[in-house]
Amino acid sequence: MGKTANSRRVADNEARAKLTMIRISPQKLNLVAAMIRGKKVEKALAELEFSRKRIAGDVRKVLQSAIANAENNHNLDIDSLVVAEAYVGKNLVMKRWRARARGRAAKIMKPFSELTIVVREVEEAA
């Protein structure tokens, strides 16, 4: 009389990983996500390794997590994986104030983002 298992949110040849509450704006994170969209996993990891963007290390960790999920949870071949989707969403925004002249204040917005990466196994064309 246990709880029923959730149905899979992705297809049988896919695996995903998600990271929430990343302290960077979604616009900046989307620039890094766009670099790896549609590429083979090895090439995407290499690009993230040598990227000069600060957030590239965190994106690389999420991609490695998606690869590990594909291998361990779904028994997919990691040599034939491609980054099918890499999309960014907004999360909360911390609002802070900075004191300005004449008793005024200026808003400081500190946005958070979330990143979802879906890897898909593709068959090699001979």
Q: Where are the domains of the chain?
A: 14-121
Best CA proximity match to 20, nearest among 68, 88, 70: 88
Nearest 10 degrees: Cα torsion 21, 26, 28, 30:
110
What span, in angstroms and rounded, lies between the C-alpha atoms of 44 and 63? Answer: 9
Is pLDDT of 98 > 70? Answer: yes
- Looking at the chain, the whole-number percentage of residues with pLDDT higher than 90 is 89
What span, in angstroms and rounded, lies between the C-alpha atoms of 37 and 9? Answer: 20
pLDDT, tens digit, 9 for 90 and up, residues 47-82: 999 999 999 999 999 999 999 999 999 999 999 999
Find out if CATH 3.40.50.1450 is the number for domain 14-121.
Answer: no
What span, in angstroms and rounded, lies between the C-alpha atoms of 77 and 12? Answer: 13
pLDDT of residue 43: 97
